[in-house]
A and B are shown apart, each in its own frame.
Chain A
Amino acid sequence: MIFHSALKLAQAVRKREISAEEVINYFLRQIEVKEAGIKAFITVCADQALEQAQALDRRTDLPGLPLAGVPVAIKDNIVTKGIKTTCASRILANFYPPYDATVIKRLKEAGAVIIGKTNLDEFAMGSSTENSAFYPTRNPWNLECVPGGSSGGSAAAVAAGEAPLALGSDTGGSVRQPAAFCGLVGLKPTYGRVSRYGLIAFASSLDQIGPLARSVEDCALLTRVISGHDQHDSTSSPRSVPDYLAELSQPLENIKVGIISGDLLKDVNPEVKEAFYFTVKQLEEEGAQIEELHFSSWAIGLPCYYIIAPSEASSNLARYDGVRYGYRDLSEKQLLSMYQTTRTEGFGAEVKRRIILGTFALSAGYYEAYYGQASKARLLINQEFRQALDKVDFILTPATPEPAFSFGAKADPIAMYLSDIFTVTANLAGVPALTLPVRCSAKGLPIGIQLISDFFQESELFRLAFLVEKKVEFIKEYNKIN
Chain B
Amino acid sequence: MPEKIDIDYVCSLAALRLSEEEKKELAPQLQRIVEWIAQISSLNLTGIKDKELSTVSLATPLRKDVVQGSLSPEEALANAPEKENELFKVPRVIEGGDSQE
A323-B88, A380-B45 known; A360+B26 contact, CB < 8 A: no
Q: Which of A166-174, A175-183, A256-264, A329-337 contacts B (4 or more CB under 8 A)?
A: A329-337
Q: A413 CA to B11 CA in the complex, in Å?
A: 19
Give B residues with C-beta under 8 Å from A. Answer: 2, 5, 7, 9-11, 13-18, 22, 25-26, 29-30, 32-34, 36-41, 43, 45, 48, 52-53, 55-56, 58, 60-61, 63, 71, 75-76, 78-82, 88, 90-93
Given contacts A323-B80, A335-B90, 10 further A-B contacts (CB under 8 A): A98-B79, A303-B39, A304-B40, A327-B81, A330-B81, A334-B92, A335-B92, A373-B45, A374-B40, A379-B52
Q: Which of B15, B30, B34, B39 contacts A339, CB < 8 Å? A: B15
Residue in chain A with minimal CB distance to B61:
A238
Asked if B81 and A353 make an inter-chain contact with CB atoms under 8 angstroms apart, the answer reads no
With a CB–CB cut-off of 8 A, which chain A residues contact B18? Answer: 344, 352
Q: What is the count of residue pairs linking A and B with beta-carbon distances less than 8 angstroms?
A: 159
Known contacts: A334-B91, A414-B32. The answer to whether A363 contacts B79 by CB under 8 A is no
Closest chain B residue to A377 by CB distance? B40
Asked whether A378 is an interface residue with its Cβ less than 8 Å from the other chain, the reply is yes
What are 14 A-B contacts with C-beta separation under 8 Å? Answer: A300-B40, A306-B37, A333-B91, A333-B92, A336-B15, A339-B15, A343-B14, A349-B22, A352-B16, A353-B30, A363-B13, A373-B45, A376-B45, A380-B45
- Inter-chain contacts of A303 with B (CB < 8 A): 36-40
Say yes or no: B56 contacts A370, CB within 8 Å. Answer: no
Instruction: Evaluate contact between B14 and A379: CB separation under 8 angstroms.
Output: no
Residue of B nearest to A303 (CB): B37
Q: Any chain B CB within 8 A of the CB of A388?
A: no
CB distance A98 to B71 under 8 Å? yes
Contact of A328 among B53, B55, B81 (CB under 8 A): B81
CB of A340 within 8 Å of the partner chain: yes
Cβ–Cβ contact B41 & A373, under 8 A: yes
Q: Which of A199-249 contact B (CB under 8 A)?
A: 205, 229, 231, 234-235, 237-238
Of A191, A324, A334, A356, most buried by chain B (CB within 10 Å of CB) is A356
Shortest C-beta distance, A319 to chain B (Å), equals: 11
Q: A376 contacts B48, CB within 8 Å? A: yes
Q: How large is the interface on A (under 10, 10 to 19, 20 to 34, 35 or more residues)?
A: 35 or more
Is B91 touching A379 in the complex (CB atoms < 8 A)? no
Closest residue to A307 on the B side, CB-wise? B37
Q: Which 10 pairs of residues, A with B, have the shortest CB-CB distance?
A: A325-B79, A328-B81, A376-B45, A340-B17, A98-B75, A359-B14, A231-B63, A303-B37, A376-B48, A430-B56
- Distance between Cα atoms of A192 and B30 in the complex (Å): 32
Instruction: Name the B residues within 8 Å of A349 (CB-CB).
Output: 22, 25-26
A375 at the interface (CB under 8 A from B): yes
Chain B residues with CB under 8 Å of A307's CB are 37, 40
- The answer for the CA separation of A413 and B29 in the assembled complex, in Å, is 8
Q: Tell which of B22, B81, B91 touches A335, judged by Cβ atoms closer than 8 Å.
A: B91
Instruction: For B90, list chain A residues within 8 Å (CB).
Output: 323, 335, 338
How many angstroms from the CA of A339 to the CA of B93 in the assembled complex? 12
A2 at the interface (CB under 8 A from B): no
With an 8 A cutoff between CB atoms, is A369 at the interface?
yes
Q: In the assembled complex, which residues on chain B have CB atoms less than 8 Å from the CB atom of A229?
A: 61
Contact among A333, A357, A360, A373 with B40 in the assembled complex (CB-CB below 8 Å) = A373
Complex Cα distance A373/B41, Å?
7
Check if A429 is an interface residue, CB within 8 A of chain B.
yes
Those of A76-113 within 8 Å (CB) of chain B: 94-96, 98-99
B residues near A429, Cβ cutoff 8 Å? 55
Q: State the Cβ distance, A367 to closest chain B Cβ, in Å.
A: 12
Closest Cβ of chain B: how far from A413's Cβ, in Å?
6
B26 to chain A: closest residue by CB: A353
- Asked whether B58 lies within 8 Å of A237 as measured between CB atoms, the reply is yes
**A321–B15 contact, CB under 8 A?**
yes
Q: Which residue among B30, B34, B37 has the maximum number of chain A CB atoms within 10 Å of its CB?
A: B37
In the complex, which of the residues B29, B33, B53 contacts A379, with contact meaning CB atoms closer than 8 Å? Answer: B53
Q: Is the CB of A370 within 8 A of B37?
A: yes
A369 B41 Cβ-Cβ under 8 A:
yes
A314 at interface, CB cutoff 8 A = yes
CA distance A314 to B22 in the complex (A): 19
Contacts of B13 in A (CB 8 A): 359, 363
A413 nearest in chain B by CB position: B29
| Residues A300 and B26 in contact, CB atoms below 8 Å apart | no
A25 lies within 8 A of chain B by Cβ: no
Q: How far does the Cβ of B43 sit from chain A's closest Cβ, in whole Å?
A: 6
**How far, in angstroms, from A347 to B41 measured CA to CA in the complex?**
30
Please name all residues of chain B whose beta carbon is closer than 8 Å to the beta carbon of A334 when the two chains form the complex.
91-92
Within 8 A of B (CB), among A356-413: 356-357, 359-361, 363, 369-370, 373-380, 382, 413
Query: Which chain B positions have C-beta within 8 A of A361?
Result: 37
Contact assessment for B78 and A376 in the assembled complex, using a CB-CB cutoff below 8 Å: no
B32 contacts across to A, CB distance below 8 A: 414
